[in-house]
């Protein structure tokens, strides 16, 4: 048989850069970005991105150079997701809540040559630069000004010799985008959140983010020209690739600096928002706003990921008119790559039963993953599909990272035989659906029994006065570890009746095996979180360790 090979006429490079060109051609007159009173159309966004890419290229920055940005969800942050790779460079979005020392570490590790800085984050950026050693090259600085901020915050100085607007003005609108030589070329460098370990630099390819973006447009049934509210930080796994996906369907991006429940409801009403993303903490925030009696004008589709959402929270937020889609993924998979795909036979179940099923992580999406499974880390064998036997979640496919930047040792530990080892503990159900039970470091081993902190938290979330709950291990001289719950209460509870720790323990004893019941309950105003809403359990573990072994703990399973 004749051997057939692809040629120039039928070969395609998978890159999200083509989404923008297509959006300008099809949706050129449609609104692309709304930010306060600022509004751009897709033809304008395409033009602005080409101009910025041209200016970046004119600075001598190109293939495999790292360009960093530290900014909230504002138009320039969106544009840089196209402009930087259009110049051939690699985009590095920095968490806006990091301190100067950590930002300095990331700039040093990435070797960033150019840093875009939002006007309200200039002090953090300048302090980070000052912490670089004298013999280390500092990135060139560009200030992102904001017409809605003060003149003082927008003022240029010797450190910021030019502004983002100046790059737009002087750039060439006819600049030809630098297309990747291979779809496996790197497009972004993202740093992990560091919730379980020191941050690592994750390198993702053009093909990886392209396939994940297309996957979620299909899986979420996103129509053409949706109205998307940016409640998820764009710096977090590039907004789960919706920065690029919205261009593919000509969507309207509603940008907002600060996320609050009242702001979200106002923007939904004002702009007719159809889609938004966010961690479970965002869902909890929406469901706990006091004034939530007003019905939504239209159904708002919400995708949540980042942590297993408690079924009680899903039930509350869907009762308000939100339709929740649940995904699972990591920075290393370019965002959520597993989805709890809905089955028709679940339609007639009760709301409570639906919420429990929807809290599962589910199955792989269509394109970006070739497989997801749970293995016994000791033997490497697949665990039984019984919904009970736990193991480590493994994934493989095009959206999995190319590797950890400058860290071949960590890369080889994380990727073996084509599988990425996630560090998450889960089970596989008989229907092939994955359910995450915990992070490997969050499993509590008490008297030889493995306790899933997620399961204990799910019960606590059903208590009518509990706002947030996180469970970690507390050292115990007899059991080794016991569950320690950190709980915040809904507003106004203290004025009525604040439950005691014993009352919450009694509530748990009625709903779970006694060995799983928290032996310690600590009330806090708010749980410590990352900017993407992930609870920083390592901080809670430190607090639990500081409590020391509980001298009053009785030594029976009861």
pTM over 0.85: no
Token readout for 437 is 């039970």
Q: Please, what sign has the CA dihedral across residues 191, 380, 456, 360?
A: positive
Evaluate whether 145 touches 154 at the Cβ level (below 8 Å): yes
pLDDT of residue 5: 60
pLDDT of residue 557: 37
pLDDT of residue 149: 67
pLDDT band at 150 (very low <50, low <70, confident <90, very high): low
pLDDT, the chain, mean: 88
Distance between terminal CA atoms of the chain?
Answer: 72
pLDDT of residue 493: 72
Query: Which CATH superfamily includes the segment(s) 259-439?
Result: ANL, N-terminal domain (3.40.50.12780)
Q: Please, what sign has the CA dihedral across residues 543, 546, 552, 558?
A: positive
If you search the block for the tokens 């000004």, which residue do you land on? Answer: 145
* pLDDT one-digit tens code per residue, 342-361: 999 999 998 888 888 888 88
Best-predicted range by mean pLDDT (132-141, 246-255, 494-503, 546-555): 246-255
Q: Which of 356, 361, 267, 269 is nearest to 313 (CA)?
A: 356
* pLDDT one-digit tens code per residue, 483-505: 999 999 988 776 667 889 999 99
Q: Do domains 36-196 and 444-547 have the same CATH topology?
A: no
Element (H, E) at 469: strand 466-476
Token readout for 442 is 């969050």
Element (H, E) at 489: strand 480-489
Q: What is the distance between the alpha carbons of residues 44 and 449, in angstroms, rounded to a whole number? A: 59
DSSP character string of 54-82: HHHHHTT--TT-EEEEE--BSHHHHHHHH
For the chain, the domains span 36-196, 259-439, 444-547
Mean pLDDT for 245-270 is 95
The residues, ordered by sequence, that sit 6+ positions from 298 with a Cβ below 8 Å of its Cβ are 272, 274
Mean pLDDT for 90-101 is 90
Which one is predicted more confidently, 10 or 315? 315
CATH 3.30.300.30 fits 444-547, yes or no: yes
Percent of the chain at pLDDT exceeding 70: 90
* CATH fit for domain 36-196, picks 3.40.30.110, 3.40.50.12780, 3.30.2010.30, 3.40.50.300: 3.40.50.12780
* pLDDT one-digit tens code per residue, 166-183: 999 999 999 999 999 999
Token readout for 284 is 């909890």
Provide the Cα torsion 269, 270, 272, 277; round to 10°.
Answer: -80
């Amino acid at each position: 048989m004749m051997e057939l090979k692809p040629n120039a006429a039928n070969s395609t490079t998978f890159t999200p850069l083509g989404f923008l060109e297509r959006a300008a051609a099809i949706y050129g007159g449609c609104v692309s970005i709304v930010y306060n009173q600022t509004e751009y159309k897709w033809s304008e966004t395409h033009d602005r991105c080409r101009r910025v890419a041209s200016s970046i290229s004119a600075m001598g920055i190109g293939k495999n150079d790292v360009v960093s940005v530290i900014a909230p969800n504002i138009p320039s942050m969106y544009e840089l997701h196209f402009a930087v790779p259009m110049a051939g460079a690699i985009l590095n979005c920095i968490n806006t809540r990091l301190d100067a020392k950590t930002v300095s570490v990331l700039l040093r590790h990435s070797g960033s040559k150019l840093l875009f800085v939002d006007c309200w984050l200039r002090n953090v950026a300048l302090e980070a630069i000052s912490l670089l050693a004298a013999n280390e090259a500092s990135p060139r600085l560009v200030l992102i000004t904001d017409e809605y901020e003060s003149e003082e915050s927008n003022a240029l100085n010797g450190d910021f010799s030019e502004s983002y607007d100046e790059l737009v003005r002087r750039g060439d609108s006819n600049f030809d985008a630098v297309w990747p030589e291979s779809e496996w070329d790197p497009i972004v460098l993202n740093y992990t959140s560091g919730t379980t370990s020191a941050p690592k630099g994750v390198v993702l390819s053009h093909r990886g983010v392209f396939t994940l973006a297309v996957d979620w447009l299909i899986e979420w049934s996103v129509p053409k020209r949706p109205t998307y509210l940016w409640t998820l930080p764009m710096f977090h796994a590039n907004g789960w690739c919706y920065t690029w996906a919205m261009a593919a369907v000509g969507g309207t991006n509603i940008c907002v600096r600060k996320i609050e429940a009242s702001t979200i409801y106002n923007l939904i009403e004002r702009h007719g928002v159809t889609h938004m993303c966010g961690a479970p903490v965002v869902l909890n925030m929406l469901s706990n706003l006091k004034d939530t009696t007003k019905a939504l004008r239209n159904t708002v589709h919400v995708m949540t990921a980042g942590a297993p959402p408690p079924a009680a929270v899903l039930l509350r937020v869907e009762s308000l008119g939100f339709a929740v889609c649940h995904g699972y993924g990591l920075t290393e998979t370019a965002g959520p790559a597993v989805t709890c795909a809905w089955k028709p036979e679940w339609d007639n179940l009760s709301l409570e039963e639906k919420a429990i099923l929807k809290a599962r992580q589910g199955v792989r999406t269509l394109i970006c993953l070739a497989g997801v499974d749970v293995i016994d880390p000791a033997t490497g064998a697949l665990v039984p599909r019984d919904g009970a036997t736990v193991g480590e979640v493994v994934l493989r496919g095009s959206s999995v990272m190319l590797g950890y930047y400058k860290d071949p040792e960590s890369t080889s530990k994380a990727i073996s035989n084509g599988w990425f080892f996630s560090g998450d503990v889960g089970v596989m159900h008989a229907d092939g659906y994955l359910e995450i039970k915990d992070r490997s470091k969050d499993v509590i081993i008490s008297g030889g029994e493995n306790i899933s902190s997620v399961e204990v938290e799910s019960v606590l979330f059903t208590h009518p006065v509990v706002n947030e709950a996180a469970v970690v291990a507390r050292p115990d001289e007899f059991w080794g570890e016991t569950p320690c719950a950190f709980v915040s209460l809904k507003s106004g509870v203290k004025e009525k009746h604040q439950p005691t720790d014993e009352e919450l323990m009694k509530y748990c004893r009625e709903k779970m095996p006694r060995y799983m019941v928290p032996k310690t309950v600590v009330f806090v105003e708010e749980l410590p979180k990352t900017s993407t809403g992930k609870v920083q359990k390592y901080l809670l573990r430190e607090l639990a360790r500081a409590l020391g072994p509980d001298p009053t703990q009785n030594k029976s399973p009861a």
